[in-house]
Amino acid sequence: MKPTRNPEEVEQLKGRILAQALDIIINGGLDAPTMRKLAARTGMTAPNLYN
């Protein structure tokens, strides 16, 4: 089992996710973002983004 992330790591990860989501929207429009696209860009799985 992986250890939990500390609060600083969580905030950095949130920032990275938001930055990638914004980039997807800027380049593809409001209909472009999907959880799978966002997950691929952040190196995570789509279900993990929900966690």
User: Are residues 34 and 41 in contact, defined by beta-carbon separation less than 8 angstroms?
Assistant: no
pLDDT at residue 30 in the model: 92
pLDDT at residue 38 in the model: 95
- Write out the chain's pLDDT in tens, 51 residues: 778 889 999 999 999 999 999 999 999 999 999 999 999 999 999 999 888
pLDDT at residue 8 in the model: 95
pTM for this predicted structure: 0.82
